[in-house]
Structure 1
Amino acid sequence: MVRFIVRRLLFGVLVLWLISVAVFALFFVAPHDPARTIAGRQATPETVALVRHRLGLDQSVLSQYGHFLSRLLHGDLGYSYYNSEPVRSLIATRLPVTLSLTLGGAVLWLILGVGIGVMAARRPRSLLDRTATVFVLGGLSMPTFLVGLLLLYFLFFRLHLAGIDAFPGGGYVPLTQSPGQWAQHLVLPWLTLALVSAATYSRLTRAALLEVLDEDYIRTARSKGLSERRVIYRHALRSALTPVATQLGIDVGALLGGAIITENVFGLPGLGQLAVQSVTTQDLPVIVGIVLVASAFVVLANLAVDLTYAVLDPRVRPT
């Protein structure tokens, strides 16, 4: 197991290095001039040249990448072009919002999706199964922004008109400041992510569980007189959760890089909102920092998925 973890970590480092090369080539070698963008259209050539020198853009490509990689290894993501704040500080202030949104939503959509999938698999082709199919089709066809706007309209606007302020319409309160208000402000964003994502997990759980229930060891467990509940939850569900773990790693890794739509609908100051603002202002260091942080989260999520495989299914346990 230790050798497997080390191999995966080394592979992850290699992936991150390749991503750093790709990001550098995309943002620093591609044909555009950030010095001209920062200096403005009316700037003189001398001013543009001064800005380019201060940014180190007048050096060779290899020299620029060497400085870029050296800063990354020291945790320095550079400074914002527009407010001169360290990119690391900007990301650090936004990261707790995205973490709260992603992890809370993931817990909610796992409970909802896996629960519906198990109930549908236990009674295939029943009314419950057909209802779950309608839920899956509805969830897959509803875009995130539409679900968020509908929740805002019915659970915030309409309730507010009735004098019930149970769900805030936006904003964020840090967990350390008030845990109750922190959860209250995130309920609607969590529901938005859960309702959109739970459909996928319900479908994956149902399909995988139906396949596992036809395995020989499940028939053996039933022949020993074990209760159906124990067969489902103690033996079959563990193996059936393997594709769910794969999908969870992909979704969580991607959302930790910024849940752009959900954060903008509910006005959450997370990485997704920061990414949109940075793209709008062409703040390249911030964009690069967010891309690298998101890539690191994806690599870590994939490592966690590989380790989860060994826990869920001993047949795929690495040696």
Structure 2
Amino acid sequence: MLAFLTRRTIGAVVTLLIIAAVTFFLFFAVPADPARLACGKVCPPELLEQARRNLGLDAPVWQQFVAWLAGLVVGRDYEGLGHCPAPCLGYSFVNREPVLETILDRLPLTLSLTFGAAVLFLLFGVGTGVVAALRRGRPLDKIASVASLIGASVQIYFVGTLAMYFLVYQWQILDQPRYVPLTEDPIGWAYGLLLPWVVLSLIFTANYTRITRSTMVEQLTEDYVRTAVAKGLPRRTVVGRFALRGTLIPVVTIFGVDLGHLIGGAIITETTFGLQGIGRLAVRAVTDSDLPMLMATVLLAATAIVVFSIIVDVLYAVIDPRVRLS
């Protein structure tokens, strides 16, 4: 296990370095004037010149990249702007503050939105899929199949807009979605994000229901499951201890990918409900031509996906003893 984690960690670092290099050269080598992109749409001449000096655009591109990587480890000094502590993701000339500060300010909301919705769509998706597989061909199975097909077809902005109109404005069952820090008010935190959680989980639940059902149907025909049934083990033990563990392998795979994408920013969900998370930050960086901020959000999404892929690989051996990591 230790050797496996070491190899995967080294591979993850190499992957992130490649992503960082591609991102950096794409944003700094292709544009005619990276300083103007970094400075934003409304940029006075003095700020534009300051951006050019701080970005070191007079040096070769590879030297700029090395300096940027060094800033991630030891920090970086910006002329007239102060010191950016490590990990320094750059300085936003639009917000007039280090990129990391803005990221850390928006990250708690995105994490709350991601993990709250993940709990819902994992529980309901896997649970519904298991029940549908055990009731294969019966009315409950057909209802779950139709519901999952409809859920996978609709879009978040459509369901979110309808939910906002009826539940918030028309019937006033829920309040306008908002973010309250968990440490300040746990009840207000959950209540303020309840509607986004439900809408976001509704879309993902459909996919998890279909995948869980199809995999569970296959697992129930496996020899080791049929042997457990022949030995007279209780149905609950057969399903929970044997069939479900094999079913969770593909579920965990897509779950890790989905979590990585959501932490990188649930752009449509945050925009629909007016939440200021990483997704809205990425959109704002594009509209404001905030190049350092845009690079930081891209790297954050890539890092989340790489990290969760390693976690998923480790969970394989925990879920299914037949999987051995070496």
* TM-score tier after normalising by the smaller chain length: over 0.9
1:305 lines up with 2:298 in the alignment: no
Q: Which residue of 1 aligns with 2:273?
A: 266
**Which blocks of at least 5 consecutive residues in structure 1 are unaligned?**
161-165
User: Within 2, Cα distance between the matches of 1:86 and 1:300?
Assistant: 24
**Which blocks of at least 5 consecutive residues in structure 2 are unaligned?**
75-86
Q: CA deviation at 1:42?
A: 9.5
Deviations 1:18-47 (A, max 9, x none): 011011111111123133453879977x98
1:122 lines up with 2:134 in the alignment: yes
User: Within 2, Cα distance between the matches of 1:240 and 1:42?
Assistant: 55
Q: Which residue of 2 aligns with 1:163?
A: none
The residue type equivalent to 1:118 in the other structure is V
Structure 1 residues 9 and 188 mapped into 2: Cα distance closer, same or farther (>3 Å)?
Answer: same
Which of these residues, 294, 299, 303, is aligned with residue 301 of structure 2? Answer: 294
**What SS is found at the alignment partner of 1:315?**
coil
Matched residue count = 313
1:170 lines up with 2:177 in the alignment: yes
Moved over 3 A (4+): 36-44, 46-51
Q: Which residue of 2 aligns with 1:247?
A: 254
Whether contact under 8 Å (2:151, 2:206) holds in the other structure is yes
User: Within 1, Cα distance between the matches of 2:43 and 2:106?
Assistant: 34
Which of these residues, 117, 126, 134, is aligned with residue 146 of structure 2? Answer: 134
Which of these residues, 198, 202, 209, is aligned with residue 202 of structure 1? Answer: 209
Q: CA deviation at 1:277?
A: 0.6
Structure 1 residues 59 and 3 mapped into 2: Cα distance closer, same or farther (>3 Å)?
Answer: same
Deviations 1:38-84 (A, max 9, x none): 3879977x985554223311211121011011112231111102122
The residue type equivalent to 1:185 in the other structure is G
Q: Which residue of 1 aligns with 2:111?
A: 99
User: Within 1, Cα distance between the matches of 2:313 and 2:274?
Assistant: 34
User: Within 1, Cα distance between the matches of 2:104 and 2:47?
Assistant: 32
Structure 1 residues 40 and 214 mapped into 2: Cα distance closer, same or farther (>3 Å)?
Answer: closer
Structure 1 residues 42 and 50 mapped into 2: Cα distance closer, same or farther (>3 Å)?
Answer: closer
1:20 lines up with 2:11 in the alignment: no
TM-score (norm 1): 0.94
User: Within 2, Cα distance between the matches of 1:42 and 1:272?
Assistant: 24
Q: CA deviation at 1:154?
A: 2.0
Which of these residues, 231, 234, 240, is aligned with residue 233 of structure 1? Answer: 240
Q: Which residue of 2 aligns with 1:57?
A: 57
User: Within 2, Cα distance between the matches of 1:104 and 1:3?
Assistant: 33
User: What is the identity percentage for the equivalent residue pairs of Structure 1 and Structure 2?
Assistant: 47
Q: Which residue of 2 aligns with 1:149?
A: 161
Deviations 1:249-292 (A, max 9, x none): 01000000111011111111110111111110010111111111
Q: CA deviation at 1:155?
A: 1.5
1:73 lines up with 2:85 in the alignment: no
Q: Which residue of 1 aligns with 2:196?
A: 189
Structure 1 residues 147 and 40 mapped into 2: Cα distance closer, same or farther (>3 Å)?
Answer: closer
Whether contact under 8 Å (1:81, 1:284) holds in the other structure is no
Q: Which residue of 1 aligns with 2:292?
A: 285
Instruction: Provide the aligned C-alpha RMSD in A.
Output: 1.7
Deviations 1:140-185 (A, max 9, x none): 100111111121122211222xxxxx42222211111111111001
Whether contact under 8 Å (2:40, 2:93) holds in the other structure is no
The residue type equivalent to 2:233 in the other structure is L
Whether contact under 8 Å (1:309, 1:316) holds in the other structure is yes
